[in-house]
Structure 1
Amino acid sequence: MTTAKDLFIIAMDQGPEQAVGQGDLSLALAGAELIDLIGTGGVAVDGDRIVPGGPSAPDDRLLEEAAEQLVRQPPHERIEDWLWRRGRDLSATYQSALEEDGELTRKRSGPLSFGSERVEPADTADRRRAVGRWEEREPVLVALTAVVGIDDGRSDDEAGLDDEAVTTVVAAVHDAVMELEAVRQRRTIENAAFANVWRGP
């Protein structure tokens, strides 16, 4: 399992009352992939740009796909641009992959068999590992879950990130999620204004 898959499982584990926005999650998944590629030596960070490193063969098809999408010619891609490009519909991609691997199951909510269907993590070793990593407050996973609004309710200070490149990526994910929220708010205001004009005085 990768950090991105662990993040997806933790997000799905929160239940509908604490549902994570798909756009927010997609941006964070792209950041998680980048952090894993940093860990394998597949990329390095130079300022705000992603510099592909030596050849690496990630043992995960989605991470391999991410590595193949890296811009390898200078000027290299900015982290923020990578998050938006790679992150497009990435949560749906992870959902499909994890369902195919048996890591997610579909269940109907409510007492009726025709109630709304939702996806939740299956009780697998990978899910238990992801939950264990989060409960142990592994710094990278805690930082990424916090960015998308997942809070484990504990008030103690989270462990700091000790890698400058990883810190840079997490900060870029945070900025991208804030930018997405600003776009949502602007659209809400514009839609409300349009509705008021349509209704008239």
Structure 2
Amino acid sequence: MTTPQDLLIIAMDVASSRPVGQGDLSLALAGAELVDLIDAQALSLDGDLIVPGAQWTMDDRLLNEAVSALIRQPPYESVEDWLWRRGRGLSSSYLAVLEAEAQGTPRRRRWIPLRTGRPEWGDSAARRRAADRWTSGEPVLAGLAAAVGIRDEPTEEAENLADDAVVTVLDAVHNAVTELEAVRQRRSIEEAAFDNIWRGQ
């Protein structure tokens, strides 16, 4: 299992302070991929720029896709640009893989904002591993979860992470999710203003 897969399971298993949107989760999953690739030494960060290492073959198909998607020639891509590019539709990709591998299939196939109750998952090693990371307050998973609203605040361990590269990724995920919410609010205001114009005619 990988950090993105653990995050997806937690997003679907744990009650959150607000609905977790597909866009928010996709950004966080793209950040989770970077964290795992940093840990595997498949890349490093130069400031906020992603510098690929040697071409690695990962044990996970989606992480392999992530490695293949890295920009390998200067000027390198920033973490923020990666989140927006790689994150497009990524939550659906991870959900499809999780279901295909039969590591836990929800009986209700609704997406998170539409659910009326918590999904019922079968017991699995994947679910237990994600739950263990969650209950232990593992800092990376806690920091990613906080970014998408599954946890109101990151744990103290997440706030005191010593790995500057991982901290850069977590900060970028928080900023991207905040930016996405601002875009949603702006569109909502614009749509409301448009509706008011039509009602006023």
TM-score normalised according to structure 2 size: 0.89
Structure 1 residues not aligned, in runs of 5+: 110-114
- Cα distance, 1:17 vs structure 2: 8.0
Structure 2 residues not aligned, in runs of 5+: 110-114
More strand by share: 1
Secondary structure in 1 aligned to 2:44?
A: strand
Q: CA RMSD in A?
A: 2.4
Question: Are the structure 2 counterparts of residues 117 and 53 from structure 1 closer, same or farther at C-alpha, using a change threshold of 3 Å?
Answer: same
Q: Which position in structure 1 is the counterpart of 2:161?
A: 161
- Cα distance, 1:56 vs structure 2: 1.9
Aligned pairs for 1:70-89 (under 5 A) are 70-89=70-89
Amino acid at match of 2:63: L
Secondary structure in 2 aligned to 1:105?
A: coil
Q: Mean alpha-carbon deviation: is it higher for 120-129 or for 1-10?
A: 120-129
Secondary structure in 2 aligned to 1:106?
A: coil
The answer as to whether partners of 2:16 and 2:151 remain within 8 angstroms in 1 is: no
The answer as to whether partners of 2:22 and 2:91 remain within 8 angstroms in 1 is: yes
Amino acid at match of 2:187: R
- Cα distance, 1:123 vs structure 2: 1.3
The answer as to whether partners of 2:17 and 2:152 remain within 8 angstroms in 1 is: no
Report the count of equivalent residues. 195
Q: Which position in structure 2 is the counterpart of 1:43?
A: 43
Amino acid at match of 2:151: D
Amino acid at match of 1:157: E
The answer as to whether partners of 1:107 and 1:118 remain within 8 angstroms in 2 is: no
Deviations 1:171-192 (A, max 9, x none): 1111110110000000010011
The percentage of counterpart residues that share the same residue type is 59
Q: Which position in structure 1 is the counterpart of 2:52?
A: 52
- Cα distance, 1:23 vs structure 2: 0.2
The answer as to whether partners of 1:104 and 1:119 remain within 8 angstroms in 2 is: no
Secondary structure in 1 aligned to 2:156?
A: coil
Distance between the aligned counterparts of 2:126 and 2:27, measured in 1? Answer: 22
Deviations 1:107-147 (A, max 9, x none): 249xxxxx989865431011101111011011100000000
Confirm whether residue 2 of structure 1 aligns to residue 2 of structure 2: yes
TM-score normalised according to structure 1 size: 0.89
- Cα distance, 1:161 vs structure 2: 1.4
Question: Are the structure 2 counterparts of residues 118 and 137 from structure 1 closer, same or farther at C-alpha, using a change threshold of 3 Å?
Answer: closer
Distance between the aligned counterparts of 1:100 and 1:184, measured in 2? Answer: 32
- Cα distance, 1:18 vs structure 2: 4.9
Q: Which position in structure 2 is the counterpart of 1:191?
A: 191
The answer as to whether partners of 2:103 and 2:127 remain within 8 angstroms in 1 is: yes
Confirm whether residue 96 of structure 1 aligns to residue 96 of structure 2: yes
Deviations 1:38-83 (A, max 9, x none): 0000000001110001232211111011000000011111111110
Secondary structure in 2 aligned to 1:51?
A: strand
Secondary structure in 1 aligned to 2:94?
A: helix
Q: Mean alpha-carbon deviation: is it higher for 36-45 or for 155-164?
A: 155-164
Distance between the aligned counterparts of 2:126 and 2:152, measured in 1? Answer: 20
